[in-house]
Structure 1
């Protein structure tokens, strides 16, 4: 009887591990598609002379800037996903659902990029893009929280990995959220996407220096299974 139970547990563990691996591969594939769609939507400059070609490229500068921003955003998501999911060895229904919705936001990003790169109606275009990115960040944070709550990670995983990733992604989400009301007053709202994470990094670094590294030491002693 005990042997049968152990065998069943082993089979369940293997099935969950395969599910986690397939989910990771699926995420990588969708991110690759999203990045490809970004490039396909880039406008091609036209002109028969160098001057005309340059003028055409200049006319499309907003679209090129939107592409660069979206590429950095999607790449940041992929880096965080790669950093964490190489330690994930199991999955569950909630984790799968959160991942699918997160990937949906990344797939929508090329469309949102076209929207924000258009002419006129700056506030509406900007806010739509910021909301898509904010939701993507929140979903990723929820994925990280579920990994910790359900202990979906392998033994020997760095104790501070999830908390660090959650902190960084939460700061990025805050940057997009703060930019929404700012966009109602000025087109310089783009700076929120840089300033909020930058200021957060400076403050966090200053706290670590003041504490003599105690904060970093404390973080490495925490476990992922903290339910707070």
Structure 2
């Protein structure tokens, strides 16, 4: 919920109730920050769209032939679903954090560009991972992309408050929480690379990533409650 409020000449503030129930004032994003957010959203949307356009089309003149063709390409469909979910998760985290960003500098713009590079590489990395053979190399490539994406996102979360780029009404702990969650995700994917030498057990490290982020969120919630 947002309510307009006069704040003086040349500045427009709004009183906003955040998702955690706190209320604060926030300035509107500068044109440069808005353009970066629009560009980021466009790049992610294009990346997701290209995922669907590259899906193989099932072939066949009968129901049986069509189904058989689809099952032969099941790895491509699985890769699409996983890539879609991963890209969506990255974009959702970016959207949630950048709602509190009101200004832009060259450092944040550069880090955001590198983060976007990792995001658009995710569909390609998933296609590399899908085929059989050379499991460690394929798995490691995908894991490194995810590790770098998480670290770059964490770097943005670290830089924004220190450079004074957030609005006055930013939710408490939003950047420190994003930083800790990013470190947890990066650690899970980084550890999975050496674990991949033992085989498919490395996938358990990926499965641990959402558990780790949830534990981080709960720990921060408890800390705020005690405070």
Q: Same fold (TM over 0.5)?
A: yes
Q: Name the stretch that deviates more: 51-60 or 97-106.
A: 51-60
Show the 5 A alignment for 1:93-172. 93-172=106-185
Displacement, 1:200? 5.3
1:119 is paired with a residue whose SS is coil
Output the CA distance in 2 between the equivalents of 1:137 and 1:214: 24
| Higher strand residue share | 2
Give the conservation status (yes or no) of the 8 Å contact 1:148–1:162.
yes
Q: Distance in 1 between matches of 2:216 and 2:32?
A: 39
Distance 1:123 1:48, change over 3 A: farther
Name structure 2 gaps, 5 residues minimum: 1-8, 12-26
TM-score (norm 2): 0.80
TM-score using structure 1 length: 0.79
Deviations 1:77-116 (A, max 9, x none): 1111111112211111111110111111111122112211
Aligned-CA RMSD value: 2.5
Uncovered stretches (5+) of structure 1, i.e. residues with no partner:
1-6, 222-228
1:76 equivalenced with 2:84 (yes/no):
no
- How far did 1:152 drift? 0.5
Q: CA deviation at 1:47?
A: 2.3
- Name the stretch that deviates more: 25-34 or 120-129: 120-129
Pairing 1:1-228 to 2, within 5 Å after superposition: 17-199=30-212, 201-202=214-215, 205=218, 214-217=222-225
- Matches of 2:200 and 2:188, distance apart in 1: 15
